[in-house]
Structures are given as structure tokens and as C-alpha cells.
Chain A
Amino acid sequence: MSEAVPPSPGSPASVRLTAPFRLRDGEAMAARIVVAAGLSLLSAALLVALSGHSPLAAFGAMALGSVGSPHQIGVGLNRATPYLLAGSGVAICFRAGVINIGAEGQIALGGTGAAAVALAWPSGASALSALAALIGAAAFGALWAGLATAIHLGRWVHEVLATLLLNFVALLLVQQALAGPLGQFGAGFLQSPQLPAESWLWKAPEFNAHVGFLIALAAAAALSVVLWRTPFGFAVRVAGQSRPAAAYAGFSMPAMTWGVMLLAGALAGLAGGVEVLGVHHRLIEGFSLGFGFKAVTVALLGALEPLAVVPASLFVGLLEAGSLSMQRQIGVPSAVVVIEGVTMLFVLAATARRT
């Protein structure tokens, strides 16, 4: 099947394809990710051992801390929610070969949008304020992603650079908003006044998890449907395989880029909104630090499939909840960030396409 045939005459060997982000194909992908996860577990054990504690005890405490009680599970779910939302959006982008790393800024602005709407919402229509705030969050996020797309498509700036640089601008904009119109006078640090209670996301009583997780699940499911059951999703999958094939199939790359970027931006914005409305009940400076990059992690762990991003985000969310507990119980300093980073690096190495 793979005889060495001289390359076909029309092969674009001399045509420089834009190099989209492509994962290796194949059924072995899941196996590779598992191997990568295994290696990172080993590194985690090593790190814990470095601190002089027993890895087994530490992992035990972590497990208890993640799923040991409904309350803890709730914490884990809450932490997983923004990763799931933003991660599935990033997954769709990467699937199309559009490397969007602007989730960090889109989440931050989304949260700002939610806070702004919630604070400005007339108290008469209070029943709808949460919904309106979430819509505002999604809109802000989509807007920011749209800005990056316009710069990328309009002025030929690499989409990675555009989204990356705009992250920092977004974070500063949020700080500016908190220092200005959205801020709370007299508070020691940058934060908004507490949002009206009607806009808070509903929380299951003992569970401690807010309804945001369900929203995220619904979004991931919807995204999966889009990816696998609509012509648009099909176009995304083709483009991620090969740009020439997408052109041949009659798909327009610019239109597709707008589509996936706005979608991802809206989802990231929603993630910010959920965090603000569900966890903090106010806009806090730096509430979203690191979320955007974790979204990328989670998207890759889920091999760019929205439904697989669910377990991936749960894994990361529960891991974080558990690690806090591990810190308290056993005294091992929080290594969760390192472990996440190391895991990602192994996953990246395992899944990169060999051109």
C-alpha cells in the first residue's frame, strides 16, 4: 500500500501550504494520549517524592479531595466549567486549522460584559437578568475574537500573534474598567460592586456546583453536533485535514475562519460570564488568569473533539480541586500547575503530525 511511488506531478511540494495545526490521525491517537498521561503521572509522582512525601499518600489525598464529598465534587465541577466552555471553542478552531490562543482575553472581557449587563440591568425585569448577562458575556467575547480575526484576515497578521497580543490588551482593559466605571469605591483592590442576587447562577443546595456546568455540557454537545452533523462542521473538518482539499471542495477559508473564531469567542466569553455570575458574583481583577491557556490544554487533551473535552476538563477541574486539598492535608505544595504543564508537553509531543 505504501510503495515508493514518485510524487504525483501536481503535488504541491513547491506550493507552501499554510501549516495548520494538525493532530495525527488514527485510532492509535487515544493510546498515545493515554501513554502521555501515564508519563505525566510518573512525573507527578517524582515531583511529590522530591518534596519528601509519599506519592501514594499524596495521590490518595488528591483523590479524596476531588471526589470525596459532594461539596468537593461541586468545587471540581465549578472549576471545570470555564475550561469546558472555552476549551470546546478552541477545539473547533484548532480543528479548522485556526490557531486561536486568545481565549484568555475573551474570557476576561466576557466576564466584564456579564458584570456590566448585570449591574446595568433594570431591576424590573430581574428574572431575565442572568440570561441577559450571559448573552452580554458571549457577545463581548465574540467581539474580541472578531477583532483579532479582522486584523488577521484584513492585514495578513498571523492569527496566533493577533490573538496573543490582544490578550494582554484585554486584561488591561478589564483593569481599566474596574478602575473606572465598573469599580467599587473604597474597596482595597480592584473589583466591581457585588452583582444583584437575581443575576447569580442557580446553585444546587448541598452540591455547591452552579448550573454553569450544565450550560457547558449543553454547549459542548451542541458543538459536537455542529462538527459532525452539519455542512459547516464538515467544512471545518476538511480544512483541518488539508487547505487545498478545502479549496477544491468549494469552502471559503475566510468565511470559515470568521465562523469558528466568533463561535470560540462567544464560548470563551460565556465562560467568563459563568465564572463571574456563578462563582464570584462580582467582577474581580485577574479572575480569569490562566484560564485561556488551560482551555488550550483541555482542547488538546480531548483531541479536539468537544465531547471528549468534557472528561478532559473534568479531569483538570477535579485535579485542581483535589490538589488544594492535598496541599492542606498532606502539606505537599500545590503542584497542579506543573503537572498540567508537563502533561500538556507530553500530549503535544505525542500528537503532533509528522507532516
Chain B
Amino acid sequence: MIDFLAAAVRIATPLLLAALGGILSERAGVFAVGLEGMMLMGAFTAVVGAWASDSSFIGVVLALVGGAAIGLVVGVVAVRYRADNMVTGLTANIMAIGLTSYLLRVLAGGGKPIAIHLSPLAPWPVPGLADLPVVGPLLFPPLTYLAALGCVALDLFLRHTQAGLTLRATGENPEAAFASGAAPLRVRMLAVIACGAIAGLGGAVLSLQQIGTFTDGMTGGRGYLALASLIVARWSPLAAALACLAFGAAEAFELRLQTFGVPVSSYVVQMAPYLIALAVLAGLGRSSKMPASIGRPLPWDR
């Protein structure tokens, strides 16, 4: 049972980080379709950085930088130049896949990808927390702590700070936000860049913390899954944690089913998150709690 929970948490952690970043971006009014690319870039820069500098701390920092870079690209094209959010995000994803694969091979100088083998991040048993009955051992991996903390922090930020209020206002009604003194363009740009950084961290969980290397396209659609989970969670950080855990549990369950030979198709299980997201959206219909001005280009140069 503990095993199962541990697997669920393990699968959920990168999702959650990406979803948190996505919530920042979407609440500010920019569709977070670029999460996949942001995660992948973060995964790449984390591993390469840690390998080149022999320090996993540097790797983590570079994950933030890498993801933020993709965020900056999306911000410039979609927010500053007002291109369509969705198409920009998708394109950024494609570009990130190509760029990471390319750079991986270029760095080696010989056209073959460098084989980087790092040991996965060592767990950090924090004294008090480690002794918690069930939850303790699950939190060991350091970036998992960050994810949990980040979830709570984002919730507090959105609901209890002036900056969070301004961000939410920009996503709901940028004109009103402007009338109250905010600068919607700047808010959206910052939100998208921050989204990139946090999603990049999610990628680092995969590459640095869990696996220890980078392979082409290793995020494998997790970015889109994170998007689905933040929709299901109706753009709330705490609910997103639950949603990601649920998706993680579903996948862990499916893996176990396979070992037991139960004839539930793994593909059907994998479809579940997307179908659930669709169902939630369809159920919400017109009353969806989507930020009201999401995806709408800013009408003036502020």
C-alpha cells in the first residue's frame, strides 16, 4: 500500500509543479498550452547543468532558467505580439522538443547524444516530517517538498496578496485592472515567465530527481496532462494537488493491474484524465470558472 502511495506521489509531483505554473499563467489570462515545452526544457537544462557543474543545486537553478526561457518566448509572441495563445504554446512545445534533442547532440560534438548518467537526487529526510506515519517517507525527495510547499504558497499568494489579486484581476477583466492602476501587459508577461520557471522545475523532477538523465521528449505529454488536471481542478492550486494525485494514483493503479494481468486496457486508463477533463468542461458549460478574459489579446498597448 505504501508502495502504491509512493508511486502515486512520484508520478504526481512533476504534474503538480507544471500545473501550478499553469495556474499562474491561466489565472493571469494566458492559456498554458506551452507547459510541455517548459517542462522539457527545464528537464534538459537541469541535467546538463548538474552534469557540467557537478552540483545538483545548480541543476535545479538551471531548470528554473530553462523553463523561464520558454516562458519568455511564449510571452513575447503571445502577449506582446498578441498571437493566438494556443497556437503559440503548441509551437513552443514543438520547438522545445527539437531544441533539446538538438542541443543534446551538439554538446557532445559528435552528433551523437551525450550519455549523461547522474544518480537521482538523494532523498532528504527532514527530521520532524520524516517520522509522520504514512506521509513522511513519501516526501523525502527534495523537489517533492518543494511541490507541496509551492502548492500551499501559490494558494496563499493568489488569495491573500495584492500581487495575487492583481494577477487574478488581469485574467478576469484587464480593463478594470488597468483602471485600478495595474499594467496588464507586464502582469501577463511575468506570469508566463514564472509559469515557465515552475514548470521547468517539474521537468527537473523527472530528469534530475527521478531518472538521472535526459532522453528525447522525455516528458511524453505530461505537460498536457498537467493542463488537463488544472482544468479539472478549476484553477485552484490545492484542488490541483488532489487532481494530480488522482491521476498519479490512476497510473500507478494501471501499472499494478498490468503486473496482475487484469484485462483492463492500459490505453483506456490512460485516456481517463483527458476524458474527465472534457467531462468537467462540458459539465461546467457556460458557467465554467475559467478566468473570464483568458486568451483574449490585450486591446491596447499598456
Contact = CB atoms under 8 A, between A and B. Distances in A.
Q: Do A and B contact each other directly (Cβ–Cβ < 8 Å)?
A: yes
Interface of A: 16, 19, 21, 47, 50-52, 99, 101, 151, 154-158, 160-162, 164-166, 168-169, 172-173, 175-176, 179-180, 290, 293-294, 296-297, 300, 327, 331-342, 344-345, 348-349, 351-355
B90 A349 contact: no
Contacts of B128: none
A297 B91 CA distance: 8
A340 B228 contact: no
B7 interface: no
B111 A333 contact: yes
B297 interface: yes
B278 A345 contact: no
Contacts of B262: none
Contacts of A156: 285-286, 288
Contacts of B76: 349
Contacts of B178: none
3 residue pairs, one from A and one from B, having the closest CB atoms: A341-B95, A337-B98, A338-B98
Interface in B85-115: 86-88, 90-99, 101-103, 105-106, 109-111
Nearest to A160: B86
A352 B82 contact: yes
B133 interface: no
A353 B82 contact: yes
Contacts of A157: 278, 281-282, 285, 288
Given A156-B285, A337-B97, A348 B105 contact: no
B282 A345 contact: no
Contacts of A348: 77-78, 81, 83-84, 87-88, 91
Nearest to A175: B267
Main secondary structure of the interface of B (DSSP, over half): helix
A327 to B, nearest CB: 7
14 contacts: A19-B295, A50-B106, A155-B282, A156-B286, A157-B278, A161-B281, A168-B221, A168-B224, A176-B265, A179-B267, A290-B94, A293-B91, A333-B102, A333-B105
Contacts of B285: 155-157
B99 A338 contact: yes
A227 B95 CA distance: 31
A254 B231 CA distance: 25
Contact of B94 (A19, A166, A340, A353): A340
A164 B84 contact: no
A344 B34 CA distance: 14
Main secondary structure of the interface of A (DSSP, over half): helix
Given A334-B102, A338-B95, A155 B87 contact: no
Contacts of B97: 337, 341
Interface size class of B (residues with CB under 8 A): 35 or more
Contacts of A51: 102, 105-106, 109, 111
A99 B221 contact: no
A172 B91 contact: no
Given A101-B86, A175-B267, A352-B84, A337 B94 contact: yes
Contacts of B297: 19, 352-353, 355
Interface centre among B90, B99, B109, B296 (most CB of A within 10 A): B90
A162 B111 contact: no
Interface centre among A164, A297, A332 (most CB of B within 10 A): A164
B278 A165 contact: yes
B109 A52 contact: yes
B194 interface: no
Contacts of B33: 164
Contacts of A294: 94
B282 A335 contact: no
B275 interface: yes
Contacts of B119: none
B224 A331 contact: no
Nearest to A154: B282
B2 interface: no
A187 B40 CA distance: 31
B81 A349 contact: yes
B218 interface: no
A338 B102 contact: yes
Contacts of A336: 98
B101 A99 contact: no
Contact of B77 (A169, A349, A354): A349
Given A155-B282, A333-B101, 15 more contacts: A19-B296, A51-B105, A51-B109, A51-B111, A155-B281, A173-B267, A173-B271, A176-B267, A297-B91, A337-B95, A339-B98, A341-B98, A348-B78, A353-B82, A354-B82
A162 B278 contact: yes
A164 B86 contact: yes
B70 to A, nearest CB: 11
A336 B103 CA distance: 13
B289 to A, nearest CB: 13
A302 B270 CA distance: 36
A167 to B, nearest CB: 8
